Each structure stands twice: as C-alpha cells, then as structure tokens.
Amino acid sequence: DVQMTQSPYNLAASPGESVSINCKASKSISKYLAWYQQKPGKANKLLIYDGSTLQSGIPSRFSGSGSGTDFTLTIRSLEPEDFGLYYCQQHNEYPFTFGSGTKLEIK
Amino acid sequence: QVQLEESGPGLMQPSETLSLTCTVSGFSLTSNGVGWVRQPLGKGLVWMGTIWAGGSTNYNSAVQSRLSISRDTSKSQVFLKMNSLQPEDTGTYYCARPRRGYFDYWGQGVMVTVSS
C-alpha cells in the first residue's frame, strides 16, 4: 500500500496569513493526489484533485502543487472558515490511502 | 443537488454483522459509483471499498474478507455489509461519490460503536 505522510500534524496561524501543508507518498503517485477539508458537523469537502486542479466552487486562495512523491497544499490569506482538519489522499492506485491529517488552528 | 446520506444502527455487538445504507440523490447510480470510507474515533480516514457505475467492486484488502458492497439502483441506495465486527471497527462511516478514485461529494457520516 502507498503510505501517505502528512506534515505538520498541527499548525497554528492567524487570519490573513498563508500556510502550507505537505504530503509525501511512499512511492510515486504521478499527479494523483487530492486534498480535503474536514469540519465538525459538515460533510468533508474536496478542495484539490490531480495534484493541482481546484474543485469547482473552491476559493482560489487554495492551491495545490507537486508530483511524484511530494505535494503541497497552500492556503493564502487565511479566512476564519479555513480552520479545521486537512487530509491528503492518493488516487493513483488501490487501495486509495489518506494521510494522517493536519489540524489548522487559529493562533 | 448531489446528496448522500448514511443510515444504520449506532450500536453493535462484537461478532455481529454491520449493515449500512447510503441513499443518494441528485445523481444516478447507473452512471456513478459510491465508495465507503471510515474514520476510527480520533484517527484518520480509511478507504474501505467502492462500487462503480457498472456494478463492479474494489475493496481494501485490509477488510476484503469481511466486506460486501452492493446496490439497488432503482432505490438509489448502496449497501455496506461487514461481518465479524470487533471494537476496533468503531468509528464514523462515510459514503462518498468517487471520481476516478478521489471523492467529490460526501455524506455527513454515521457513527458506529462496537461494544458488548
């Protein structure tokens, strides 16, 4: 199975700042990485797929980059609603696997 | 709009068989798949399996021997059945619509507790 290692585990930032979350795959997954946001009481939200393609309806302050084994989710100009949990997921091969999550908190 | 809603019993006993239903609206199961993802309490997401538009299934080998995913397209429902439940199966179970392996719409999840 492809192991997905996310970092950092926790991240604290203030509204208006920019942050980056990293995801490393244990083998090459080409461009096939997705990013999700998870918040209590809400359905998980797809942010990015294929490494850098912004899902429809997601604000342009979210961006994804990377290919092969190293990927980054960047959120520019943080808004209060951006705080929550973020997960990466490889969708290159079975079984699809997720990272362990990054908790983005308000500083 | 696209919606998915999970339903099923909240409390199960060890060794029992879990049966969950995912009812979808806003899209057809004859042209879309549905996947199941679970999240143990306080932990990350784990893909369990997917039933694709043509009816074929793929399962995570970690649960494959205990898991079955099926559907009733006329009722817009997808079913998960998992036998030999253990306390470590406790968690939130989500159904979601797959797009080549990533998931663009998710249900809110159903909490399942396995305890005697």
What is the Cα B106 distance to its own chain's centre?
11
**Residue-wise pLDDT tens digits, A59-101:** 999 999 999 999 999 999 999 999 999 999 999 999 999 999 9
Instruction: Answer positive or negative: Cα dihedral of A59, A99, B24, B35.
Output: positive
What pLDDT does residue B17 have? Answer: 98
- What's B26's DSSP letter? S
Q: State the Cα–Cα distance between residues B8 and B26, nearest whole angstrom.
A: 21
User: Smallest Cα–Cα separation from A73: which of A30, A27, A29, A19?
Assistant: A19
For residue B40, give how far its alpha carbon lies from the nearest alpha carbon of chain A (Å).
12
- The closest CB to that of A95, out of B61, B100, B105, belongs to B61
Q: Which is nearest to B33 in space by CA: B15, B58, B16? A: B58
- Please compute the mean of the pLDDT values over residues B6-24 and round it to a whole number: 97
Pick the closest to residue B28 from B115, B97, B100, B85 (CA basis): B97
Residue A80's region, left for phi above 0, alpha for psi from -120 to 50, else beta, is alpha
Q: Please name the member of A34, A89, A94 whose beta carbon is closest to the beta carbon of B58.
A: A94
pLDDT of residue A107: 85
Mean pLDDT in residue range A51-63: 98
Give φ, ψ of B74 to 5 degrees: -70, -25
Q: How confident is the model at residue A53 (pLDDT cuts 50, 70, 90)?
A: very high
A67: left (phi over 0), alpha (psi -120 to 50) or beta: beta
Whether B108 sits inside 8 A of A32 (CB atoms) is no
Average pLDDT, chain A: 97
CB contacts < 8 A (A, B)? 54
For the record, the structure tokens of A12 come out as: 């604290």
